A and B are shown apart, each in its own frame.
Chain A
Amino acid sequence: MPVSAPSIPLRLDSLSFAYGAEPVLAEVSLRVEPGEFVALVGPNGSGKSTLLRLAVGLLSPAAGDVQLFGGAPADFRDRGRLGYVPQRPALGEGITATVEDIAASGRLTRGAWFRRGRRNHPAVERALAEVGLSEMRGARLSELSGGQQQRAFIARALAGEPDLLVLDEPVAGVDAESQRQFRSSLTALVRDRGGSVLLVSHELGAVADDLDRVVVLKQTVRFDGTPDELRSQGVSLGVHAADLPLWLEQVK
């Protein structure tokens, strides 16, 4: 088995990006180290989702450099090391699939194209258990609440056994139970398996105590430090913290 190189999971250097003439990101640098849990926050339109899309190779930067595990995203072949949870996809009426179908498709990142063995793979079982959906594996996606659907998509990412998990607004508007399961699945990845997490979210309450670093983005990086350092600026990350969004709007 190949030994995973101890390269930095994600490194962004002086990244700039614009949609047409509209600059979205300017000179953004960010690192996610092995075993690190990093949250990326910022007001609407601050470039968070764009940054994530650049990080996973869906977009190419106008200037600057993206490195996934030490290489450019375009040349990144070891896709199993990267787990991606996009903003909840708008599922068409025609999508008829069970929770297990969705989770099992996560094995595709590991090159498991054939059906045989994909379903009952230990990693799929573990991923379903970590998001609390083992009992609901046979449920159709359309039967689930928004939060449960999102957990199925997190299970898909976890089933690939990633070393770096990148999530775009995974808990926007989901129920408390799903938030709790969400937290335990991320901490299991970081604490038990030494994985790294880059989380874009408006709602850090669920994971406030688990974060190693918080990065505040508003076209450029306005803050990059520990949650305690952010709290020392009068910002709390608790469940009902109304001051984080307020503070974000005030960041110049």
Chain B
Amino acid sequence: MPYPFDREYMQLALAAAMVVGAVAPMIGVFLVQRRQSLMGDGIGHLAFAGVAAGVLTGVWPVWTALVVAVVGAVLVEWLRSAGRASGDLALALFFYGGIAAGVVMVGLADSLDANLMSYLFGSILTVTPAEVSLVVALGAVVAGSVLVGAPALFAMAVDEEWSRVAGLPVAWLNSLLAALVAVTIVASMRVVGILLVAALMVLPVASAQQIGRSQRSIIAWAVAIGAFSAMVGLGSARIWGLAPGGTIVLVAVAVFAVVAATGIGAGARRGAFIPTRSHNH
């Protein structure tokens, strides 16, 4: 492959980044629609507790992060839907609980070292083939679930009550969505870092919503913009010696700024469709 992807470690990094760049916004579409854009952040903090548990126990941190994040995400969803805590309060509980538990465990392990930092801030240039395989596998699980479940997840985002009457397994689908968010975060940890995962779930979606019209086109645009940001961000990081995780997210921010400023989205909003009847608001 040509520069900047000529080295093997860059090709591994590119594979992982493209998968994460495509999959994170795919699940993020539903979070944005449900006004749960910050959920990725909250569950990211649970993943941090999971990483710390791995460091403390000597288990590969990705596995412990996966278990803690998925279980925690489903619990957050249960708290929210059972009405025991409002959405943002449930998140705050786990958000701070996760960070605190992580800090305590890191202290116990006496290991605030580069290994831990690689999960917090990402360390995509050091990913191993095994890690890339895991990212691809987790990404396939998320993408497959979204492709099958998108119509039902979309209906629930529009109107949860209607979905219940329509016979959709609402509680089960809510838990599935939470678990998929957790899986996506764990898959993305080494690419952009726990602190920036949520950005990759939300920013490409924000841009896609300016461009696309239908549900399907918004998912497609979000995936394309996410993968584009990952590739351009990673390449730029190599060329100018920047931190890859942060650069990927900055590219996603730049795409949004361009879309918003140039009014590419305005055409989608007004040009393609002109109602023939006057509106009565």
Contacts and interface: CB of A to CB of B under 8 A. Distances in A.
Given A94-B209, A95-B157, A115-B216, A86 B162 contact: yes
Contact of B164 (A58, A92, A156, A176): A58
A79 B157 contact: no
B262 interface: no
Interface in A98-149: 98, 100-102, 104-106, 108-109, 112-115, 118, 135-136, 138-140, 143-148
Contact of A138 (B167, B213, B277): B213
Interface stretch (B66-74, B226-234, B243-251, B267-275): B267-275
Given A94-B209, A145-B279, A147-B280, A84 B214 contact: no
A135 B166 contact: no
A143 B166 contact: no
Nearest to A178: B280
Contacts of B214: 97-98, 100-101, 138
A114 B148 CA distance: 6
Contacts, number: 114
B281 interface: yes
Nearest to A157: B162
A139 B273 contact: yes
Contact of A79 (B37, B166, B209, B216): B166
Interface of A: 56-58, 77, 79, 82, 84, 86, 89, 91-98, 100-102, 104-106, 108-109, 112-115, 118, 135-136, 138-140, 143-148, 153, 156, 160, 174-178
Interface of B: 32-35, 37, 148-152, 154-155, 157-159, 161-168, 209, 212-216, 218, 269, 272-273, 275-277, 279-281
28 contacts: A58-B165, A84-B162, A86-B162, A89-B159, A92-B35, A94-B33, A94-B157, A97-B154, A97-B158, A98-B214, A101-B154, A101-B214, A105-B151, A105-B158, A108-B152, A109-B167, A113-B151, A118-B151, A135-B276, A138-B213, A138-B273, A143-B273, A143-B275, A145-B279, A145-B280, A145-B281, A176-B280, A178-B280
